[in-house]
Amino acid sequence: MKGIIIFGGIIALFGLITFVIPSFNTEQTKDVAKLGDLKLQTKSEQTHFVPPMLSEGAIALGLLMIGAGLLTGRQT
Query: Which pLDDT belongs to residue 73?
Result: 75
**What angle separates helix 52-74 from helix 3-20, to the nearest 10 degrees?**
160
- What is this structure's pTM? 0.72
Give how far Cα 69 sits from Cα of 2, 7, 35, 59, Å.
7, 10, 61, 15
pLDDT tens for each residue of 17-33: 999 999 999 999 999 89
**Domain boundaries, position 21:** 3-74
Q: How many domains does the chain have?
A: 1
For the chain, how big is the Rg over CA atoms in Å? 21
| Residue 72 predicted with pLDDT over 90 | no
Is the pLDDT reported for residue 74 higher than 80?
no
